[in-house]
Amino acid sequence: MIVDSQLPPKAKLAPDHIRPFPPDMSSNEEDYNDAENSQQGFHGSKKRRIQRACDICRRKKIRCDGVQMPGNRCSNCIAYSFECTYVEAAKKRGPPKGYVESLETRVEKLEKLLRRLCPDDKVYNELNKSLEKDNWALDPPPANPSALVQNPTGQLKPSPLESVTCAIRAAGAKTTPTPPQPEDDDDDSTLILADNLKRLTVDPHEYRFFGKSSGAMLIHTALELKNEYSGVESDSKMPVLGRQRAEFWTLRPWESRINAKKPAPVYHFPEPDLAEHLIDLYFEFVNLYLPLLHRPTFEKSVQDGLQHTNQSFASVYLLVCAVGSRFSADPRVRLDGIESYHSCGWKWFDQVQVVKKSLLSPPSLYDLQFYCLSVQFLQGSSAPQSCWTMVGIGIRLAQDVGAHRRKIHTRPVTAEDELWKRAFWVLVCMDRSVSASLGRPCAIQDEDFDVDLPIDCDDEYWDDTEPEKQFKQPSNKPSLVSAFILQIKLNEVLAFSLRTIYSINKSKILLGFVGQQWEQHIVAELDSSLNKWVDSVPDHLRWDPNREDMKFFNQSVSLYAAYYHIQILIHRPFIPSPSRPSPLSFPSLAICTNAARSCSHVVDVQRKRNKMPPPQIQMATFTSGIVLLLSIWGGRRSGLSTDPNREMADVHKCMQVLRTSEERWHSAGRLWQVIDTFFLLIDLHYYQ
């Protein structure tokens, strides 16, 4: 702490009398009357006391006793017959240089101390605001200070580490808070403008999304200025341009030929009974976790024969059958002449790959669903890394039509509105899980979109004859969509871990993650977010190995497997090794081992209750198996008390889950073999 004894005597200020400068010892030269009052006091009838030296004494810098002499005429002026005047304005003296330097030093030290004591930038900002008030000394001290940094302009702002901390804490909250909007927020006007830009196109179906930096916003500003200049408010429904030259507002003939509707391909759909069976499997084992489709709407379209007239829906229909075939034992799902079930669904997947829509035309809802379903099918292929490319394309297409932005509705929400949201969120979830598995950057980050979360309502409650009951889940019935919303929030924590502890060195430098403490701080915040998330899980999704409702049981397995997997991902880089001792005080190996053991128990219970474990738990199962092997090798070195026989039993559980899945998912067989290779290298006699 800084005490007054460290400062020069002049710097000592009474606590109840703080001033920007010390009181000047020659105050008689500062507190003076102006020229008019001085002349009046000297020549006027009313005698006034002069509180300053005369002009002659001030210029000669000698002592003036005019205030003590008759008529306020000093002895110096009397002796030398000078006119004793008080006309010249006195120049105020600045504070001594040493005093200013001591104050600057003191402020700098106090600022550094305050930064160390302030972990929350919100409280620190409140403190700054209170200091700017006239009655700042009466304001109560903040509850918790926060660390700030100083920008080139001298203003205090949150440090990068504190900004990331606040974002991580928001990700782990039970509800996703709406970020505070600045006073000059123009998001609403941008979204309204983007929607009104449909008027710029000849074909309203050729809609594309334009953001703040686009020329469209410049047009909006120009129109506002024009309206102000003319004094006439333009009708928002009128065309922006009075006369459109068709050659510049329509596709050229050679371009339109690319987008022209080609002869409908001859699709070979599955038999009606097989198609109905595959659709049931899709909604039972796939849409349950990632609710991309609205079952009543989809089934009605199939009953109406839309797959025979709409090429885009036909692609979605075939992909639903292809994805559902992974869970079918019907031999008709395999390629003709192929006995392996790795070929299931390929006869329908191949058909939609031949016919691709041109990227010159805007995507439709079916196009986004096409990429979601394609990624889900390719996860079981021998090239699962292709999913990363496919999901990236899907996200770009979603951004192309503004599916990533919130909507300002002036009408009731429709089923199509909700399906657009679902498609976007499914793409985001798959993007983050695939990117984490491959160690690649995500295609989109949280700050790039602000679309609302899906409505927590089951499919059967979307439509109702009474508008006020639409999209309303009964209060006494838990929703199946709750698990999807929890998955979205859990993936927020995953995204932050990928952007912080797994980022490249250049990103860490740009974010200001330097020094030895930032990793410890970030890992602690990520752990805290995971704890908040698991506390927010509702009762119908909490882990219960004996839960009777199989849908909620399977959703619970998927959520807890992902939870343990992310916990391992957060601490995995800090498992100590001979080449890299852990910089953290956390027992990372023990945390990873406990998470892996818990995950192995969860997936093993599901394997026993289900004939076909879901594919989304495969990476969590594989990671858990490898970590348990690491605990056997590294536990003895780090002094961790482990039971090799118990760890090996848990590894065997992970291997059984992957072995059960390898008949349908190619990647499961690869992952099983990797664990098996390391499994055979363990010599239990050495560790006992």
> 169 versus 438: which is more confidently predicted?
438
139-153, 269-283, 379-393: least confident range:
139-153
> 125 versus 627: which is more confidently predicted?
627
pLDDT at 140 over 90: no
Name the average pLDDT for the chain. Answer: 77
| Token pair belonging to 405 | 């932005």
Question: Over the stretch 473-528, which tens digit does the pLDDT of each residue have?
Answer: 999 999 999 999 999 999 999 999 998 888 887 777 666 666 667 888 889 999 99
> 445 versus 638: which is more confidently predicted?
445
> 124 versus 371: which is more confidently predicted?
371
429-443, 606-620, 671-685: least confident range:
671-685
Cα 54–chain centre separation: 70
3-7, 125-129, 551-555, 567-571: least confident range:
3-7
Give the gyration radius of the chain's Cα atoms: 37
Phi and psi at residue 662, to the nearest 5°: -70, -15
239-243, 335-339, 535-539: least confident range:
239-243
pLDDT at 431 over 90: yes
What is the band of 22 on the pLDDT scale with cuts at 50, 70, 90? Answer: very low
pLDDT at 216 over 80: no
- Of 125-139, 184-198, 553-567, which has the strongest mean pLDDT? 553-567
Secondary structure letter of residue 573 according to DSSP = G
Cα 364–chain centre separation: 26
| Token pair belonging to 377 | 């099918």
pLDDT given for residue 642 in this prediction = 67
Taking the model in full, what pTM does it have?
Answer: 0.70
What is the band of 681 on the pLDDT scale with cuts at 50, 70, 90? Answer: confident
Question: Over the stretch 32-64, which tens digit does the pLDDT of each residue have?
Answer: 344 344 444 444 444 445 567 888 888 777 888
> What is the rounded CA–CA span in Å between residue 267 and residue 384?
26
Extended beta strands in 114-189, E state: 148-150, 156-158
pLDDT given for residue 26 in this prediction = 38
pLDDT at 614 over 50: yes
Question: Over the stretch 523-554, which tens digit does the pLDDT of each residue have?
Answer: 999 999 999 999 999 999 999 999 999 999 99
pLDDT given for residue 589 in this prediction = 86
CB atoms within 10 A of CB 522: 20
> What is the rounded CA–CA span in Å between residue 665 and residue 668?
6
Question: Over the stretch 285-336, which tens digit does the pLDDT of each residue have?
Answer: 999 999 999 999 999 999 999 999 999 999 999 999 999 999 999 999 999 9
pLDDT given for residue 631 in this prediction = 86
